[in-house]
Amino acid sequence: MKVAVIGAGPSGLAAANELTSNGVGVDVFENEQTVGGLAKCINLWGEQVEMGPHFLLLHTQNAVKTLLENILGDDVYKYNRLSRIYLNGKYYDYPPKPFNIIKNMGSVKTMAAAGSAMVEMMVPTKNNGTVESYVQSSIGNYLYENFFKGYTEKLWGIPCNSITEEYAKSLIGFDKLSVGSIAKKIFADKNAAHHKQCIYPKEGMGMIWQRLSQKVQQQGGNILLNTSVKGAVMQGKRIAGLVMPDGTERLYDYVFSSVPEAAILRLMPDVPATLVNELKQIKFRRVILVYMQVDPINLITDNTVYIYSTQVKAARITNYNRFKNLEGNHIIMCEYWTSDTENMWTMSDDEMLALALNDVKIFSGAEKLRVKNHHVLHMKNAYPVPDLKLSERKNMLSDFMKTFEGFSAVGRANQKLFNFSMESAMMDGITEARNIMQGTTQS
Ligand SMILES: Cc1cc2nc3c(=O)[nH]c(=O)nc-3n(C[C@H](O)[C@H](O)[C@H](O)COP(=O)(O)OP(=O)(O)OC[C@H]3O[C@@H](n4cnc5c(N)ncnc54)[C@H](O)[C@@H]3O)c2cc1C
């Protein structure tokens, strides 16, 4: 059996490893010059840092855990994750903890929140499928307005009444955080400690992808970097191979893709115009990452702080020292979510640095943050905007792709969930590879 894997990110590499370790021949095609996809590292000032904070939690995904133990051995730091929410000068635990919320809000606001939740119980908000009505009906209007709304709109750039409820359900588990379950959580949050335990490879997340690539190659697989697939070789409804950049064709028994289905669609013949038109309307959030190498200082003790305060424009501030169990700050990064129609996207690197410095000042009160070096990274199409049509459009696409045989799409870009992590991406790749080998895929 010979399989093509498109994309050498976490899901593609995990799939390639699973296949090659079982004797299947695999060619992996990656259009960039390095492996790791969105979870790769970049080298800044002699250190490896990720494009955003990346946590490896390792609490549920057993096959992933086994694989990582196998390739990383003792080359990891172990730490307890600290990533809190910052709002109006206070730190709230993340995931939220009821006692901590009550303590930070004080008695007056807590009473207001409790009153609002009671009103909600007596006169429930009609759920119209938006994140606004969903969260209001889960925890009341007070917490929605004062806790949830500002940050959600900062992230997505559209009002909460234009965002699907699926976002809240999959990202923050609000289906579990009803008023009743808050009381339950107060007395029995058995998983809280478990959710904090993380590992970090000693040379950054990129170490995983480098070692996984080596393993795939030792097992007989090929990894072709800088190789953008040009088309699909069709035999009726079956994808029988791929067209290479030089126009040559390679034939495969199965094609396995971890890149967005919409990208693969461009390789397909006879795509209905209605589908193409719908896909064009999916909007993407862009992300700007401002990395700063600073003189030793102790501003941020967390791995990442989620900045809910709307005066601060950054959505998160990450402290890379903490992933390595190092005290203080050395490289910190402010993360901005924006779009091609917002001014921020065209701001110069120096303007972005000035914005980041101002944000850090508001957030921490620190006047004298001395930046030795800075680097600004722009990411297009980082996250699809979860508007009210997104799920329908994604379903249209995946239904169409399912009509092709000899093909599976996996990984982050092809999921309905919004909290699709690196571990989930790897697990997805492993599971689908096993399905292919057992002949249990849908196609
Ligand atoms: C800012 C940010 C922060 C994040 N933080 C975390 C976190 O804390 N914890 C966590 O678990 N996850 C985090 N993630 C998510 C994590 O990075 C992804 O879940 C993971 O990388 C998904 O892996 P994947 O293989 O599905 O897709 P990708 O990583 O997107 O890999 C797809 C690969 O396909 C390649 N490709 C695309 N098109 C083509 C083509 N036409 N031909 C050939 N190759 C192609 C790409 O170059 C890429 O290498 C974060 C993501 C971002 C953007």
Amino acid at the residue 310: T
Q: Is 195 helix (H, G, I), strand (E, B) or coil?
A: helix
pLDDT in tens, 146-190: 889 999 999 999 999 999 998 888 876 555 555 555 555 555 555
Q: Whose CA is nearest to atom 2 of ligand 1?
A: 52
Q: Look up tokens 């209007």; give the residue.
A: 141
In ligand 1, the atom with minimum distance to the C-alpha of 57 is: 11
Region of poorest pLDDT, from 25-29, 271-275, 419-423: 419-423
pLDDT in tens, 318-343: 999 999 999 988 999 999 999 999 99
101 alpha carbon to ligand 1 midpoint, in Å?
A: 33
Would you state the structure tokens that stand for residue 88, as one six-digit string?
A: 């109006």
Identify whether the C-beta of residue 5 lies closer than 8 Å to the C-beta of residue 258: yes
Would you state the structure tokens that stand for residue 283, as one six-digit string?
A: 């909007």
The CA distance from 383 to 127, in Å, is 25
Note the residue count of the chain. Answer: 443
Q: How confident is the model at residue 443 (pLDDT cuts 50, 70, 90)?
A: very low
Pocket-forming residues, ligand 1, beta carbon under 6 Å: 6-12, 29-32, 37-39, 51-55, 228-229, 258-259, 263, 287, 382, 411-413, 420-423, 425
The CA distance from 3 to 12, in Å, is 12
Q: Of 18, 213, 259, 418, which is best to mutate to test ligand 1, by the most ligand atoms within 8 angstroms of its C-beta? A: 259
pLDDT in tens, 191-250: 555 567 899 999 999 999 999 999 999 999 999 999 999 889 999 989 999 999 999 999
442, pLDDT greater than 50: no
Q: What is the DSSP string of 164-213?
A: BHHHHHHHH-TTT-SHHHHHHHHH--TTTTGGGEEEEETT-THHHHHHHH
350-to-42, 290, 291 alpha-carbon distances in Å: 20, 10, 12
Identify whether the C-beta of residue 19 lies closer than 8 Å to the C-beta of residue 27: no
Would you state the structure tokens that stand for residue 358, as one six-digit string?
A: 């101002």
Residue 14 burial (CB count, 10 A): 33
Domains of the chain: 2-76+202-277+389-438 (3.50.50.60), 96-187 (no CATH), 284-384 (3.90.660.20)
Q: What does the DSSP 8-state code read for residue 9?
A: S
pLDDT in tens, 423-441: 999 999 999 999 999 885 5
In ligand 1, the atom with minimum distance to the C-alpha of 53 is: 8
376, pLDDT greater than 50: yes
Region of poorest pLDDT, from 62-66, 192-196, 341-345, 348-352: 192-196
Signed CA dihedral, 77, 80, 85, 88: sign only: negative
As a whole-number percent, the residues of the chain with pLDDT over 70 amount to: 93
pLDDT in tens, 291-313: 999 998 888 999 999 999 999 99
